[in-house]
Amino acid sequence: MPRLLLAAMLILAAAAPAAARPQQVVSINLCADQLLMRLADPQQIASLTYLARDKSMSNLADEARDFPVNRGLAEEVMRYEPDLVLAGRYTKRVTTDLLKRIGVNVLELDVPRTIEEVEAQIRLVGGALGQEARAEALVREIEGKRLAAEDGATPQRPTAVIYEPNGYTVGAGSLIDTLLSLSGLSNLAAERGMQNYGRLPLESLVTLSPDVLVIGTPRETPALATELVRHPVLSHMPRPMEIAAVPPRLWVCAGPEMFEAVAILRQAAAQARARP
């Protein structure tokens, strides 16, 4: 009898997530948008951010056209009467605080720094959405790609510096740093003791003279921030740098596309190694 009860409870427990699946999910963060589209059933998604439709930032820009968009304002979010709101830990703080105060169920997502943290986050969101099976499948996909990438590791590691708009660079303790080392490159900024993000004056970049300079893909419209990589000094370096242009959408948010960035970097590393 107790055994039967236990079996009945197990059956109930297995059925429970499906019943408790949130049906009106709103995302106010670009990375949460993409996780939501990958994991949830379309009818679970109430709204995404407008950034989800931006081809330069989002990997699922076309899919995002099927859903209403928001600008992350509390009033817009409330209109959907959400049973779950996905937000970033560091963005839209005012909206997030307001939503929590009025009792909305908000899941705040951290910025993952390692592939393990990426996988943990996928499982967390999958659990919240009642989509554990899809989360496991996505984790397996990422795990497979990671193993394939680690397979081709070579001992000789060319040096690299990431140069983001406004001269920002990425140091140790970030997902991008993890991907860089997975590509067989050694991150000079991390070696110099830089943590997370920091500004690297053009002068310091020239002095570091890395083998590979990792930049974003050029944008169509100008800004001083993105103009920096066109400074003539960079094309006059005595030892020319290998330029790797990584579209920002590949690694702005963690997803399977980050391994496309690894492939681009891996190619640049190979070219740097082949040079005399």
Partner 1 sequence: MTDTTFAPPRTEMSYRALLAGLSLAVLAAFILSLAIGYGWLDFGAALADVLSSRDSLSALVLTELRLPRALLGLFVGFALGLAGAVMQAFLRNPLAEPGIIGISGAAAFGAVLVFYSGLAAVSSLLLPVGGIAAALVAGFLLFAVAGRNASTSTLILAGIAVNSLAGALVSLVLNLSPNPFAATEIMFWLMGSFADRSLTHVAIALPPIATGCLALFATARALDALALGEDTAASLGFDLRVTRILLISGVALAVGGAVAVSGAIGFVGLVVPHLLRPLVAYRPSLLLAASALGGAALTLAADIAVRLLPTQPELKLGVVTAIIGAPFLFSLVWRLRGEMR
Which is nearer to partner 1, 17 or 248 (by Cβ)? 248
Cβ–Cβ < 8 Å for 156, 66: no
DSSP string, the chain: -HHHHHHHHHHHHHHHHHHT--SSEEE-SHHHHHHHHHHS-GGGEEEEEGGGG-TTT-TTHHHHTTS-EE-S-HHHHHHT--SEEEEESSS-HHHHHHHHHTT--EEEEP---SHHHHHHHHHHHHHHHT-HHHHHHHHHHHHHHHHHHHHT--S---EEEEEBGGGEEE-BSSHHHHHHHHTT-EEHHHHTT-BSEEE--HHHHHHH--SEEEEEPPPSS--HHHHGGG-HHHHS-SSPPEEEEE-THHHHS-STTHHHHHHHHHHHHHHHHH--
Beta strands 69-70 and 45-49 are parallel
CB of 59 to partner 1, least distance (A): 17
Which is nearer to partner 1, 111 or 202 (by Cβ)? 202
CB of 221 to partner 1, least distance (A): 4
Which is nearer to partner 1, 7 or 237 (by Cβ)? 237
Which is nearer to partner 1, 152 or 240 (by Cβ)? 240
CB of 100 to partner 1, least distance (A): 27
CB of 136 to partner 1, least distance (A): 35
Query: Bridge partners of 213?
Result: 161, 243
Residues that bind partner 1 (CB under 8 A): 165-167, 198-199, 201-204, 206-207, 209, 219-226, 228, 231-233, 236-238
Which is nearer to partner 1, 163 or 259 (by Cβ)? 163
Which is nearer to partner 1, 192 or 273 (by Cβ)? 192
Q: Give backbone dihedrals phi and psi of 161, rounded to 5 degrees, phi first.
A: -130, 135
Which is nearer to partner 1, 104 or 194 (by Cβ)? 194
CB of 163 to partner 1, least distance (A): 12
CB of 227 to partner 1, least distance (A): 9
Query: What burial class does residue 7 get, using C-beta atoms within 10 Å of its C-beta: 0-12 exposed, 13-18 middle, 19+ buried?
Result: exposed
Which is nearer to partner 1, 75 or 203 (by Cβ)? 203
CB of 58 to partner 1, least distance (A): 13
CB of 229 to partner 1, least distance (A): 11
Token pair in block for residue 167: 């001269």
